[in-house]
Each structure stands twice: as C-alpha cells, then as structure tokens.
Amino acid sequence: MLPSKLELQSFPRRNDAEIAVAAEIADLIHDRNQEGLPTVLGLATGSTPIGVYAELVRRHREQGLDFSAVTTFNLDEFVGLSPQHPASFHAFMDQHLFSKVNLPKDQTHVLAGHLPMEALEEECASFEDRIRQAGGIDFQLLGIGRNGHIGFNEPPSSGDSRTRLVTLDATTHRAYQDGFAAGEMPNYALTMGVATILESRRIVLAALGEVKADIMLALQGTFDDPDLPASFLHRHPNAALVLDAPAGSKLKDPTGSQAGGK
Ligand code: F6R
C-alpha cells in the first residue's frame, strides 16, 4: 500500500469537527489580513459545511472576522438551474455565508451553470483563468459523496481532470433530490476538476456522520483510483481529513497512523 500524506483529525462530535475547520479558515483569513494579503478560499456546499459557515458567521459578528479581502471559488453548480432556485449552490452560498459576512459580491465565484449549453465550456475555462488570476486557492474545503466524489467529480474521474461539464450519477441524484420537485433535478453539473482541486495549497476534506463511514473505510485503502476520486488526495502534500466519530467508526486505525496523521 502506498503511504498516505493525508493528515487525519478525528473529533468526538460533529460540532467539534465543524469548529476546528472554521477555526483553521478564520485563522488563515486573520493572519493574511494582518499581513495585508488577500485570502483565496475554495468552498463547498451540501450538509457538511453548514456548521462551518455558521461558525465563520459567528466569528464575523462577534469577533469582527473581516472578509473584505477574501475571494471565493465554489466547487460546483447544477446545470440548467436558475441562480435563484432554492436548491442552486448560488442560493445555498447566499443563504449560509455570502449574505451574512462582509464579502464583496464581485469577489465570489460560483460556476454559471444556468448559461446556455454552448456557453458552458467557455465558462469552465474562464473559471480556471479566474482562479489563476487570483493567485491560486489558499484553502480548499471539501465534502465527500457516498460514491467518493469531491466536487461533482463522479467516479470515474481522472486525476488530470479540469473544470468541466459532468453527468451526475445515481448516488448523487439520491443525495440531492430532496431539494427538487419530482423530475426537476438536473442531470448535469459543472465542477472544478480533480487536478484543479489538487493545485490548492491546503485542502481540508470534512466527513461527518455515520453515512460517511463506508466511504471513509474505502478511502483508507484506495490510492490514485479514478473510481474513488477523493483517493487522489492521498498524494497532496498538505491535505487533512477531518472526521467526527461516526464517520471514522469503520476505520482500521482511527487515530491515523496509516493516514500519517496526529
Ligand atoms: C458540494 C460538493 C459535494 C459535496 C458532497 C457531500 O459543493 O462539492 O462534493 O461535498 O456531495 O455532500 P454532503 O455534505 O451534503 O454530504
């Protein structure tokens, strides 16, 4: 088995894990603000980051955490969905973070999946350009699908993949269909590629809840496998897996010696 570089951080409860992730993001923003430097964040949606964003909002309100020099890039967005649709990731980000902190709207980048099909390739290329122009991503927050996807890089996704149009698989349909009326959920999405994600200088994948236990076990023993897209993270020099106890309950050594963590 190849050695993993993934640092493993295990917490007894979900809330402890959420606060640890938020604290790392807040410290990064604070330190870079102090040095007069901008911070570039890669952000996720879904149930996993909700508590992280709530804690960041709390720190903004109660401790003055300043988002004015932050630029954000979201991992993914559904295709063919208005940004105003409540299940769109545009709406999610507005609801949970953007409308609640002092982040200038023109410094937020969510893929424009609502554009006509023929404009999507250009949108993906432009998204990659915007990341480059911002100087790359300092910190990328990830969740993980039960099928091992990161962003919407569904299995199989190559480690060389860039931001592109993808077809959502059956597992993802089941996970996200609650936000949609019957038959309304899009079949396609735009997603940051695996290679794009791996270029981030720091990556934190949060996996919370018993529902993630099986995929965590699979990830522990799988390296560089397009059928488990998160497995490419093992080779990143500065990536961490943040788990609560239920998500880590099936790991062979949850203290992390196999994953090289603390
Ligand atoms: C969402 C995203 C997805 C989710 C994953 C887990 O922007 O990129 O990869 O992180 O589907 O979703 P939750 O957190 O709802 O279990």
What is the gyration radius of the CA atoms in the chain, in angstroms? 17
At 257 the pLDDT is 43
pTM summary value: 0.96
**What are residue 85's phi and psi, to 5 degrees?**
-60, 135
Torsion angle (degrees, nearest 10) of CA 54, 56, 62, 68 = -130
DSSP 234: G
Contact 206, 215 (CB under 8 A): no
Ligand 1 center–CA 145 separation, angstroms = 6
Residue 249 has pLDDT above 70, yes or no: yes
Residue 255 has pLDDT above 70, yes or no: no
For 86-122, the pLDDT digits (tens) are: 999 999 999 999 999 999 999 999 999 999 999 999 9
Is 227 assigned a catalytic role?
no
Pairwise CA distance, residues 23 & 164, whole Å:
31
Ligand 1 center–CA 143 separation, angstroms = 5
Give, for ligand 1, the residue of 18, 48, 77, 163 to mutate: max count of ligand atoms closer than 8 Å to Cβ. 48
**Which residue has the CA at smallest separation from atom 2 of ligand 1?**
151
Residues within 6 Å of ligand 1 by CB: 44-48, 75-76, 143-145, 149-151, 175
Give, for ligand 1, the residue of 75, 140, 172, 185 to mutate: max count of ligand atoms closer than 8 Å to Cβ. 75
Neighbours of 91 (CB within 10 A): 18
Residue 29 has pLDDT above 60, yes or no: yes
Q: Which domains does the chain have, with CATH numbers?
A: 12-244 (3.40.50.1360)
Is 55 assigned a catalytic role?
no
At 2 the pLDDT is 56
Residue 2's alpha-carbon distances to 160, 223, 258, in angstroms, are 19, 7, 10
Query: Dihedral of CA 71/75/78/79: which sign?
Result: positive
For 112-170, the pLDDT digits (tens) are: 999 999 999 999 999 999 999 999 999 999 999 999 999 999 999 999 999 999 999 99
